[in-house]
Amino acid sequence: MAGRSLVASVAGIQRAKQALERRSLTQKALSEDIDLAWSTVNNFFNRKPIYRTNFTEICKFLDIDWRDIVVSFLEVEEEILPLTLEELWLQLQTLGSPTQKMGLVLVTEETLDWGWQADSRYEKSVQIGNYVRFEIALDTQGYLLLLQKGTSGKFWCFCPSCFAPQPQLSPGKTILPQEGSPMPSLEIEGDPGTEQILAVITQKEPNLSWLPQGSDNPLELTESHLTELLEFVNELEDCKIMYTEYKVIL
């Protein structure tokens, strides 16, 4: 790395993320506020080298003394290890924001078809054995990539898949599973805990090498899948990322 570039420590990035949360900002909003490329800000949070002037500008905006969080190049070479699935997922979350525009809807035995309720209530906790659908409201048309982090610690791609074979969506409310799927709702299974759903909406059709087809089962994601996704969204200017979570209970 050139001497003009700097990298933050692991603890320093945690401080920076906390500062972002206090200001209710996303990385993209931060880049707009300080007039830096989104990729530069994202590189900062991913502990990739960025120019000293950009590094200090980000720290100044976040009210952090850059000298408190910078590490030497030797330390960087020793510290940086391949990111885990959890770390990659958190990076995706950092690029987005929590939302009330999507969530789980309970399905009763009387409505186990593809109909939906006009005024849905998104559940914050669901019991094992419940049947649910997932709803998302889009402001504009786009391609949906819907990912889930389950209570087992595994990560899945549900859209596109056999449950959502049409990832190009129109504005308004969309329900998953989509009509024509193997089943009109999904049963909550597994262990108690917290599950998360992350939606990536793009105007450009994703060209990810691993993207499932509409007839495929949900794909279990690996580190290489999320790494490629992060690289893809970091190159886009018109990408929107939202996430939500809910409890799975007995």
Query: Residue 110 contacts by C-beta under 8 Å, 6 or more apart in sequence?
Result: none
| Calpha distance 132→135 (Å, rounded) | 10
Q: What is the pLDDT of residues 96-151, one digit of tens each?
A: 889 999 999 998 754 555 454 555 679 999 999 999 999 999 988 999 999 999 99
pTM value?
A: 0.70
Q: Please give the single-letter amino acid code of residue 85.
A: L
Q: What is the pLDDT of residues 215-229, one digit of tens each?
A: 999 999 999 999 899
Structure tokens at 126: 């669901």
Q: Please give the single-letter amino acid code of residue 148.
A: Q
Which is more confident, 119 or 207?
Answer: 207
Tell me what the mean pLDDT of segment 169-179 comes to: 92
| Calpha distance 89→83 (Å, rounded) | 10
| Calpha distance 60→33 (Å, rounded) | 12
Query: Residue 30 contacts by C-beta under 8 Å, 6 or more apart in sequence?
Result: 20, 41, 58, 61
Which is more confident, 161 or 179?
Answer: 161
In percent, the amount of the chain with pLDDT more than 90 equals 54
Which is more confident, 40 or 76?
Answer: 40
| Calpha distance 147→206 (Å, rounded) | 14
